[in-house]
Amino acid sequence: MIHTKNFWKRRIDKFLLLLIFFALILSFLFLYLQKIDGEIKNYDDYHQKLEKMINLDHQFENFFLRAYRYIDYDETSRVSKEFEENIDYLKKSNIKKEFSQHIYKEVENIESVYKQKLQLLERFKTLNSRVTNSIHYLYDLRKTIDKKYRDDKQKQELLEEIFFTIGQLLMDLPFDQKKLTKNISKLKEYSKEYREFGYFYQHSKQFFSDIVMIKKKLLEYKEIELFEVISHTMQDLVDYYDYNRKEQKVITLSFFLLSFVILIILMFNYQRVRKTTRELRAFRYAIENSDNSIVITNKDRKIQYVNEAFELHTGYMKNEVLGENPNILKSDLLTDDFYKEMNEILDRGEKWEGELINRRKNGALLYEKSSIVPVFLEGELVEYLAIKLDITDYKEQQQKLQQSAAVYENIGDGIMITDSEKKILSINPAFLQMFGYEEEELVGQEPMIISSVKQDRSFYKRMWYSLTRRDRWTGKIYNKTKSGKVLPIWLTITVVRDKIGAIANFIAIYTNLEEIVEMEEKADFLAYHDSLTHLPNRANFEREIVRVFDVAKDNHEMIAILFIDLDRFKVINDTLGHHVGDEMLVYLAKRIKNILRKDDLFARIGGDEFVIILESLKTRKNAAMMAEKILSVVREPIQVQNYHLNTSASIGIALYPDDGLEKSEIIKHADSAMYYAKEKGKDRYEFYTKQLSLDIQMRLALEQELKHALKNKEIYVYYQPQYDLKNGKVIGAEALVRWYNPTLGQVSPELFVSVAEETGIIIELGYFVFEEACREFMHWKEQGLNIDSISVNISSVQFRKDDLLENFKKVIEKVGISPHNIDVEITERFIMEYSTTNLTILEELRSIGCQISIDDFGTGYSSMSYMKSLPLDTIKIDKSFVIELPHDIHDVEVSKAIIALSKSLGYKVIAEGIENELQESFLREHGCDVGQGYYFAKPMDTGAFVAFAKEKNQ
Amino acid sequence: MKKVVELIISIICFTAILFSGPIKPIPNEVKVDKKKVQLGKKLFFDPILSRDGTISCATCHDLQNGGDDGLKFSFGIGGKEGNINSPTVYNAVFNFRQFWDGRAKNLKEQVIGPIENPVEMGHSMEGAVETLKQSKIYSSDFINVYSDGITQENIADAIAEFEKTLITPDSPFDRYLKGDEEAISQKAKEGYRLFESKGCVLCHHGVNIGGNFYNKFGIYEDVNSSNLGRYNITKREEDKYVFKVPSLRNIALTSPYMHDGRINTLKSAVEFMTRHQLGRHMEEGETDAIVEFLKSLTGEISVIVRLK
């Protein structure tokens, strides 16, 4: 094959050479034809010029023929110029080279002959103009003389004779020279006497001499054979050209013949090449379809050829590897020495055989049994041929077997292999270690030797059934060690079948579950318990509740779910830190757990959220009692890290089956009830009622609407006058927020303010009311209404914002109100929720001039002494105390006490909710400063307020 | 379409017949290479071509003044006086030969004459080439126009190209020839009739009204010329006192007249011609009419001259 390849190469070389030669001849031929074409064109050109010159020469002739007549000399100039141009053209052309020196000489000859002719023409022109003038003038003169000397016959006759002679001369007729001479001398005589005759004489004389000259010139010009010279040149040109053409024809023909011969040789060659190609194609087919990879490299070891098997085995495509060194396949698994040795053998020109470990394109290993042969042609190394068989599968199988053996020896699981009769064939070290046997003790025995009594016969029956049907069994069993210890084992038995499908071996893998079981138990506890309080967690609770419900359903029992949420836990966490909160939770969890029955589930399901499931409940009351107990233990002060903490809880109770049958339903209801308890003032428990669900729906709707209320301009402010109880004059107003919604109608502030606080909308709402109130206050002032203050309620939620003061300042500045006119109303609840340290905001408000009022005073648990330390200006007695005045003795005492205490502390006192005259006079009598209520005036819009106040203060 | 072509052809034929008199109007423009013209113009006005750098072509051919210098003989370098009257450079392109004796075949050949004439610019063409080569501006100017730069041939070619533009079309008489009856006076029309009938037109005809053949100076009466004319070139007896018949265009602007500038006024020139060349007698009125006609031959100076 190699030989054929070389033959092919040489053949190609020869073929190429011939082809180049052929192309060269063709281009020569082309160029030659091109040259001839050029020559023909030039020849035509020269011929044309000569023809033109002949033509121009004819025109010269014409000029001469027009002797004695007026000639337009511009015309002669044009003709001569043209003739000269033609001559110049020929002289400057390649005529000398293309034709011959001889032709060129002839052209030069034409020029010299032409010059003679031109000179003659010029002289002819000179003479002709003169002669023409003379004839013209003589005729003119004769007319003049005719007129003047009409009667002088002699003179008339003389002129007539002279004119006759002139006519003869012009017509080339013979004339009498003697007579003319005589007449001229007669004229001369007359000319002395008569001026006209003088002119006549002069012109006749000139004319006769000129006409002789002209005739001479005309004879001369006939001798100049310009036409002949040009014609001769033309003939020579034609002859020479014809001769050349013949020569060119011969040359062209020989070129054609030559190229034809080469073409035949090329075709013959092509036939032979085709035959060889067919043979080669057969070889190539054999190589390409071989299962062995075949690689041919040149002597520099660059790949020249690879077959399809190579592509298949290595994953490289032909075009990727051609021109590359085969070592691109090299893996790093063979040593350099290995290759060194291989190269030494190849360099010696010997065949190398061996196993190569290469890599495929995707990086996978490729084991090849290879033989590499250096190919010599005429004693010279031309290429290497490598034939390689892919033995990777075989190799890998071998390796796998080795790996399996290693696994068998080293794995932590015990492995036992038995024959089809369940006689032990082999066991691995781990098995021996696990069960404490020696190998000799077990080989040949039955596996039953390690079985414990924990499984019964039916267990084994099932196991065997699975094994025969599915060839596999897994499961948990208990085995006995040699020392008698029972181990929990995860056993996997696999059936190995031979080729015909009969059982050959059983392979049993024993995994010791001892440790796993322990771990599992621990994990189970962690998964279902709260790590802080060790109480069951939410997951546990959810799992348990299902079980409890199932039991209750079966036994027709009542169950109570108690949702417990600590009040103000967030405040403690935020202000004192998480560790304090956490510790408190642990304490509380312990306290509550102590008062529960052992079976009651008590779980922590969130930060400060707990849930209790009370099973087998007799009545609702039992649940209520339990709730009371819980509230009381929570209420007890707790000492944590030097902090004396007071806290409370809110509890929601839902009952199974009264409040629902589904787990999720009940939980939701307990949650709602808890929220209701919070709303109702915290530190209390509430049972779920159907109304609650409705309220919650309402609340949700409210919340949705409230989100857009401010934007939709549904929020507005009303003002309730505050008046001096002594003289009845309006001294201030409380700004009260109002909401009118198109779908919900007028919504009570009691409903939406709490929702606004929970959702955070209160922040925006609060600013709106504050700004609106301040602005209106300034309007009143503009309208001439001067009162002391405008009271604005600020929610505790608003106080949580750090930039509250900053924003208030901005509003104050924008509106231009004096801070002394602003009365900030906070609730007693606010003071309860905030520790003294956090009340600095009040100090700051006060420092800029605002007044601080405590709203709803008396409803909370705050002590007067505590309030002493607060930056306060005014105390507002809650309307709940006023409403029963002056009949309820308790309320009378309380309000009297509040007024008295406030006075003693220097606070101003305002009574809210005054509805009749009795209340008013009571309060006035007991020293209350300011009143506010329906009895005096309801809250009203700004316009109404201005009118009202103006009227009252007149 | 065919009709239109026929119409155009018939109009052309008709006008050809109309203008086929002995005198033909000057074309309004001559085809030229504009770059060569600019260079030629520069050379024409540049005394660099004279040996001592004092005389330019324009010294003797004052383009603002009829294309000659108004002197009998011109003064060359070093104040040397010439021996022949400078002919006008205007319309020279229409002359069949150049110089009074016609020794130059065309304008290009003519250019060399004055440059090498010892009493004119007194230089040599080789010298002129050398001088120009020292000027960077001329070197680049020439390269822009001619691939082989400054050569004798190119100097002559550029100046000749410029001179081709020195034509004076649109003279009153040309306008008259083109059909404008009002262009010339009645007297000039009479003059033209006489010019034809008295035989002047036999020598002075064609586009340039002369300049298309040679004739002897002093046919009927001796003129006492010291210059032998074409004899100097041909050395043939018959060529003695033979000169190129000069053009009569702009004749009113180009006094003095004759090759030796012997005559100062147009009227005496006409009288001289009548006597010596025509051998005739003419009444004074006739002479005046012819003078009037000659005055109508003054044409318009071309744009390139007016643009300095």
In DSSP terms, which residues pair with A822 in a beta bridge? Answer: A790
For residues A508 and A539, membership in a common domain is answered with: no
pLDDT of residue B14: 38
Find, in chain A, the residue whose alpha carbon is nearest to that of B281.
A199
For residues A554 and A661, membership in a common domain is answered with: yes
- A457 near B CB under 8 A: no
Cα A190 from chain centre: 124
Assess if residue A700 is contained within a domain. Answer: no
pLDDT tier, B11 (very low <50, low <70, confident <90, very high otherwise): very low
For residues A221 and A322, membership in a common domain is answered with: no
Q: How far is B95 from chain A (nearest CA, A)?
A: 9
% of chain A beyond a pLDDT of 70: 96
For residues A533 and A507, membership in a common domain is answered with: no
Question: Per the CB < 8 Å rule, is A206 touching B215?
Answer: no
Average pLDDT over residues A497-526: 84
Q: Which residues of B touch A77 (CB under 8 A)?
A: 96, 206, 212-213
Is the pLDDT confidence value at B288 over 90? Answer: yes
pLDDT of residue A836: 54
When comparing pLDDT for A908 and A457, which is higher? Answer: A908
Using the 3D structure, point to which of A643, A671, A688 is the last residue of a domain: A688
- B242 near A CB under 8 A: yes
- Contact A68/A298 with Cβ under 8 angstroms? no
Average pLDDT over residues B138-164: 93
Mean pLDDT, chain A, whole residue set: 86
Q: Closest by alpha carbon to A60, among A132, A130, A117, A127? A: A117
Reported as a single tens digit per residue, the pLDDT across A63-111 is 888 888 888 888 999 999 999 999 999 988 888 888 888 889 999 999 9
Average pLDDT over residues A138-167: 85
Mean pLDDT, chain B, whole residue set: 87
Task: Calculate the dihedral angle through the C-alpha atoms of A857, A863, A868, A869, rounding to the nearest 10 degrees.
Answer: -110
Stretch among A373-382, A644-653, A861-870, B18-27 having the lowest mean pLDDT: A861-870
Assess if residue A813 is contained within a domain. Answer: yes
- Distance between CA atoms of A559 and A545, rounded to whole angstroms? 10
For residues A795 and A845, membership in a common domain is answered with: yes
Query: If you search the block for the tokens 């409705």, which residue do you land on?
Result: A694
Question: Per the CB < 8 Å rule, is A73 touching B242?
Answer: no
Is the pLDDT confidence value at B7 over 70? Answer: no
When comparing pLDDT for A857 and A948, which is higher? Answer: A948
Q: Closest by alpha carbon to A313, among A255, A259, A376, A390? A: A390
In DSSP terms, which residues pair with A365 in a beta bridge? Answer: A359
Residue A838 is classified by DSSP as G
> Which stretch of DSSP H or E encloses residue A388?
strand A380-390
Q: How far is A227 from chain B (nearest CA, A)?
A: 23
- B21 near A CB under 8 A: no
pLDDT of residue A396: 83
Query: What does the DSSP assignment read for A542-582?
Result: HHHHHHHHHHHHHHT-EEEEEEEEEETHHHHHHHH-HHHHH
- Contact A444/A438 with Cβ under 8 angstroms? no
Q: How far is A208 from chain B (nearest CA, A)?
A: 13
pLDDT tier, B9 (very low <50, low <70, confident <90, very high otherwise): very low
Reported as a single tens digit per residue, the pLDDT across A612-627 is 998 888 888 888 999 9
Assess if residue A693 is contained within a domain. Answer: no
Question: Per the CB < 8 Å rule, is B215 touching A195?
Answer: no
For residues A202 and A107, membership in a common domain is answered with: yes
Reported as a single tens digit per residue, the pLDDT across A861-896 is 555 656 677 788 898 888 888 888 888 888 888 888
- Nearest-CB residue to B215 (from A129, A136, A202): A129
Find, in chain A, the residue whose alpha carbon is nearest to that of B105.
A81
Determine the length of chain B. Answer: 308
pLDDT of residue A540: 87
pTM for the structure as a whole: 0.48
pLDDT of residue B30: 85
pLDDT of residue A4: 54
Reported as a single tens digit per residue, the pLDDT across A52-61 is 999 999 998 8
Q: How far is B245 from chain A (nearest CA, A)?
A: 10
For residues A490 and A431, membership in a common domain is answered with: yes
In a mutational test of the A interface, the residue from B196, B220, B249 whose CB has the highest number of chain A CBs within 10 Å is: B220
- In Å, what is the CA distance from A784 to each residue of A615, A724, A818? 70, 19, 16
Q: Which residues of B touch A122 (CB under 8 A)?
A: 213-214
Find, in chain A, the residue whose alpha carbon is nearest to that of B200.
A133
Average pLDDT over residues A228-246: 90
When comparing pLDDT for A8 and A291, which is higher? Answer: A291
pLDDT tier, A720 (very low <50, low <70, confident <90, very high otherwise): very high
Average pLDDT over residues A200-227: 88
- Nearest-CB residue to A72 (from B22, B208, B238): B22
Instruction: Give residues 104 to 133 of A whose Cβ lies within 8 Å of B.
Output: 119, 122-123, 125-126, 129-130, 132-133
- Distance between CA atoms of A579 and A761, rounded to whole angstroms? 31
For residues A366 and A483, membership in a common domain is answered with: no
pLDDT of residue A791: 94
- Distance between CA atoms of B153 and B108, rounded to whole angstroms? 8
pLDDT of residue A862: 56
Q: Which residues of B touch A203 (CB under 8 A)?
A: 220, 279
Structural domain that includes position A124:
2-233
Assess if residue A406 is contained within a domain. Answer: no
Using the 3D structure, point to which of A487, A518, A549 is the last residue of a domain: A518
Residue B204 is classified by DSSP as S
Burial of B208 (0-12, 13-18, 19+ CB in 10 A): buried
Which tokens belong to A39? 């020559």
Is the pLDDT confidence value at B272 over 90? Answer: yes
- Nearest-CB residue to A136 (from B105, B199, B239): B199
pLDDT of residue A453: 66
In a mutational test of the B interface, the residue from A66, A68, A73 whose CB has the highest number of chain B CBs within 10 Å is: A73
Question: Per the CB < 8 Å rule, is A130 touching B216?
Answer: yes
In a mutational test of the B interface, the residue from A66, A115, A123 whose CB has the highest number of chain B CBs within 10 Å is: A123
Is the pLDDT confidence value at B308 over 80? Answer: no
% of chain B beyond a pLDDT of 70: 93
The domain spanning residue A429 has which CATH number? 3.30.450.20
In DSSP terms, which residues pair with A760 in a beta bridge? Answer: none
For residues A856 and A790, membership in a common domain is answered with: yes
Q: How far is B204 from chain A (nearest CA, A)?
A: 9
Average pLDDT over residues A365-394: 86
Is the pLDDT confidence value at B292 over 90? Answer: yes
- A142 near B CB under 8 A: no
pLDDT of residue B10: 38
- Nearest-CB residue to A77 (from B202, B212, B215): B212
Cα A943 from chain centre: 60
When comparing pLDDT for A407 and B204, which is higher? Answer: B204
Query: What does the DSSP assignment read for A694-749?
Result: HHHHHHHHHHHHHHHHTTTT-EEEEEEEEEETTT--EEEEEEEEEEEETTTEEEPH
Average pLDDT over residues A507-523: 83
- Nearest-CB residue to A125 (from B213, B219, B238): B213
Stretch among A284-288, A341-345, A604-608, A924-928 having the lowest mean pLDDT: A284-288
- Nearest-CB residue to A199 (from B212, B214, B279): B279
Find, in chain B, the residue whose alpha carbon is nearest to that of A118.
B213
For residues A342 and A221, membership in a common domain is answered with: no
What SS3 class is residue A374?
A: strand
Question: Per the CB < 8 Å rule, is A125 touching B199?
Answer: no
Average pLDDT over residues A907-920: 90
Is the pLDDT confidence value at A489 over 50? Answer: yes
Assess if residue A87 is contained within a domain. Answer: yes
Distance spanning both ends of chain A, measured CA to CA = 132
Is the pLDDT confidence value at A7 over 80? Answer: no
Q: Closest by alpha carbon to A613, among A624, A629, A602? A: A602
In a mutational test of the A interface, the residue from B26, B280, B282 whose CB has the highest number of chain A CBs within 10 Å is: B280
pLDDT of residue A877: 87
Assess if residue A272 is contained within a domain. Answer: no
Q: How far is A67 from chain B (nearest CA, A)?
A: 13
Average pLDDT over residues B159-181: 92
For residues A634 and A741, membership in a common domain is answered with: no
Reported as a single tens digit per residue, the pLDDT across A450-488 is 777 666 777 888 888 888 888 888 888 888 888 888 888
Q: At what angle do helices B107-116 and B125-133 cross, to 10 degrees?
A: 90
Reported as a single tens digit per residue, the pLDDT across A112-136 is 999 999 989 988 999 988 888 888 8
Instruction: Give residues 154 to 183 of B whose Cβ lies within 8 Å of A.
Output: none
Assess if residue A255 is contained within a domain. Answer: no
- Distance between CA atoms of B220 and A201, rounded to whole angstroms? 11
Burial of A838 (0-12, 13-18, 19+ CB in 10 A): middle
Average pLDDT over residues A935-945: 92
Give residue A455's identity as a one-letter amino acid code: Q
Average pLDDT over residues A811-834: 84
Q: How far is A150 from chain B (nearest CA, A)?
A: 21
For residues A492 and A547, membership in a common domain is answered with: no
Is the pLDDT confidence value at B286 over 80? Answer: yes
Is the pLDDT confidence value at A151 over 90? Answer: no
Assess if residue A658 is contained within a domain. Answer: yes
Question: Per the CB < 8 Å rule, is B214 touching A136?
Answer: no
Q: At what angle do helices B136-145 and B34-44 cross, to 10 degrees?
A: 150
The number of domains in chain A is 5
- A195 near B CB under 8 A: yes
Active site residue B120: yes
List domains and CATH numbers for chain B.
34-164 (1.10.760.10), 172-295 (1.10.760.10)
Find, in chain B, the residue whose alpha carbon is nearest to that of A135.
B199
- B205 near A CB under 8 A: yes
> Which stretch of DSSP H or E encloses residue A160?
helix A153-170
> Which stretch of DSSP H or E encloses residue A495?
strand A486-497
Find, in chain B, the residue whose alpha carbon is nearest to that of A126.
B215
In a mutational test of the B interface, the residue from A77, A124, A142 whose CB has the highest number of chain B CBs within 10 Å is: A77
Average pLDDT over residues B74-103: 89
Using the 3D structure, point to which of A518, A542, A566 is the last residue of a domain: A518
What SS3 class is residue B101?
A: coil
- Catalytic residue selected from B120, B161, B163, B292: B120
